[in-house]
Structure 1
Amino acid sequence: MSQSTTSDGRSQRWDEHKEQRRARILDSAIAVIEESGVDFSVQAIAAQTGLPRPVVYRHFKDRADLDEQIRQRILKILMADLLPSLHPAGTVGEAVAHAVTTYVLWTEKYPRLHHFLGIGVDKPAVSGARGQISSALTTLFVSALSRTGADIAPARPMAYGTIGFVDGVVSSWRTSPSAPAEQIVSLLTASLLALLETTAKEQGIDLDRTTPVVDLLG
């Protein structure tokens, strides 16, 4: 085995070690946020991880980079739950209720993680995730409109408007959660269905909450 091959193997193992340690740090950061809230220190992460504070910082450019990597880690957890709900089945009403319920219950299960995402709403990780969800919803709307021969121009603004509306309602609720989650789910579901039905009617599409999704998407 050449010296170059040996060196490459060591470099690969070291890279894998660094990636595993980075993941361990980020998981520890999430645990700290869930336990203590968003006002956490790097020292708290270091203590949770079992590493010296300088070692934690060694894996990130600065505190801003650390926070952004934490946001990406949280969003990975959220998207694993949320994206499958955007592949709808059943009736339109059932599909909307399922997606809304998934998101609302996630924020109720992880309120402090949701809060941390909220204070970084203008950061690349969060805006990128919103764009990904909006894009998936746009694709659904385009499919439904195209299948009926309707104008697809409203698809994108409808998708982005829907995400903005849901996010606004849920964020306001999480700031002062005086109503039960079931009530928020009911409010959002009813509002979104009314919006979909009205928009569909304007496009000449016969749609209501009992319409099977398969009839819209094929």
Structure 2
Amino acid sequence: MLKASDSPADGRAARWKEHNQQRRAEVVEAAVNAIEDEGIDVSVRRIAQRLNLPRPVVYRHFDGREDLDEQVRRRIVEMLLAELTPTLVPDGTLRDAIRHAVGTYLAWIDRHPRLHHFLITGSRDRQAVTSRAVTGARTTVAARIERLVAAGLDAHGLDADLARPTAFGMLGLVDAVVNGWHSGETEALTSTTLTGFLTTSLCSMLSGNARAVGIELDPDTPLRGLLGE
């Protein structure tokens, strides 16, 4: 005997839900590709054309353009974190680890300048600064840095209260410099030059703050040693 949940109507509903989810994912992927090819102001009509769909069908799967933009930002963040997250591990010296993480981030931007532009400005003057996807990505990266800084402080018998502001301070410095770089004022700087500048700046920041709490921090010391591992 069939249960109520096994009725044909429930089966159709489940298949329709799966179809909608797949179509949403296809639209988001098409939007990401359209931004890569045409820029951040690409229209929904152009996105729909890539899928051979009428424009109203695209909107049927989202609560307006703002919702579509947010889902696109979420997908872009996933792409970025897939490359950046593996670099946030204690490997090599402190300087090496910072250079690797920063270099990976800037290399991603070099390959996807329009996607990065979309993350920080949105489309058609929509601002991405309040995006949950972007905010969540910053929090995720900051949390990983915070754990590393906390481990270093703990290894020296110090309170880890400064770990969180240190992590967000590092992230804020990188964001400000990189966003300024992409604003057009400093485009003459290569990503390699900027990676070196940010690596030196972050090492100096960490060394100075460590000295303030009685630690002499050499950025060329193996990171695992600094973490007491």
Instruction: Give the TM-score taking structure 1 as reference length.
Output: 0.95
Q: Does 1:191 align with 2:201?
A: yes
Aligned to 1:77: 79
Residues 157-183 of structure 1, C-alpha deviation per residue, up to 9 Å, x if partnerless? 111111111011011111222111110
Q: CA deviation at 1:88?
A: 2.6
Q: CA deviation at 1:143?
A: 1.1
> Which of 18, 32, 35 lines up with 1:33 in the alignment?
35
Aligned residues: 218
Residues 184-206 of structure 1, C-alpha deviation per residue, up to 9 Å, x if partnerless? 00100010011111112222223
- Does the CA contact (< 8 Å) of 1:150 and 1:204 recur in 2? no
Aligned to 2:63: 61
C-alpha distance in 1 between matches for 2:106 and 2:129: 17
Aligned to 1:94: 96
C-alpha distance in 2 between matches for 1:34 and 1:88: 33
2:173 partner letter: F
Aligned to 2:171: 163
Q: 5+ residue gaps in structure 2?
A: 122-127
Q: 5+ residue gaps in structure 1?
A: none
Residues 98-136 of structure 1, C-alpha deviation per residue, up to 9 Å, x if partnerless? 000011111111100000001112222211211111111
Aligned to 1:117: 119
Q: CA deviation at 1:8?
A: 2.9
C-alpha distance in 1 between matches for 2:14 and 2:213: 56
> Which of 201, 205, 211 lines up with 1:201 in the alignment?
211
CA RMSD of aligned residues (A): 1.3
Helix, strand or coil at the partner of 1:154: helix
Q: Does 1:16 align with 2:33?
A: no
Residues 1-20 of structure 1, C-alpha deviation per residue, up to 9 Å, x if partnerless? 62641333332222221111
* Identity score, percent: 45
Aligned to 2:191: 181
> Which of 156, 162, 183 lines up with 1:154 in the alignment?
162
